[in-house]
Structure 1
Amino acid sequence: MKLLKCEQEVHISFCADDTTATLYTSYPAWIRKMDKLVEKNPQSFQCIAQTAAGKTYAMPRNFVSIRTKERTVTLTEEQKAQATKRLHGTG
């Protein structure tokens, strides 16, 4: 089911005494991201429900975090060159 952008949501919920968080999403990018996490880490991430509009996932509550600012990375010229080599498969 294709949803309008304004209908694509992400909800994360947990209770103070729970060790598990629940994430519901109808946003395709988040569904892909969560499906990859389920595939790579099935012991930590599980898809627990699916509808035509979205999916619900369970994960450890301590995996949920909120950042206060964007992370910036400063690379030296040498690090940039190494990253370019890795990206192009020559390093």
Structure 2
Amino acid sequence: IILSDNETTAMTGGQDSAGTGRLEAICTGLGVAPAHIRVVIPLKKNHEEMKQVIREELAYHGVSVIIPRRECIQTLARKKKEVRP
């Protein structure tokens, strides 16, 4: 399972979602082994690491969850705009 996490609920204007910061705990609560809940940062510099994580979890015979996590681009842009004088 791949759960894309941008740490926000975009359809509501960027509020935190109820699952923000809790996806790993939710997956564990659903019975996914913690060793097979993998969080990656989806940046170009991490491409090889992400490919390796995907390969490892595809080879695992059970439920695994990969969580690509990165702040929503719109939220980040809004924060940067607010900081500017």
Category of TM-score, reference length = shorter chain? under 0.3
| TM-score, normalization by structure 2 | 0.27
**Which structure has greater helix proportion?**
2
| TM-score, normalization by structure 1 | 0.26
**Which structure has greater strand proportion?**
1
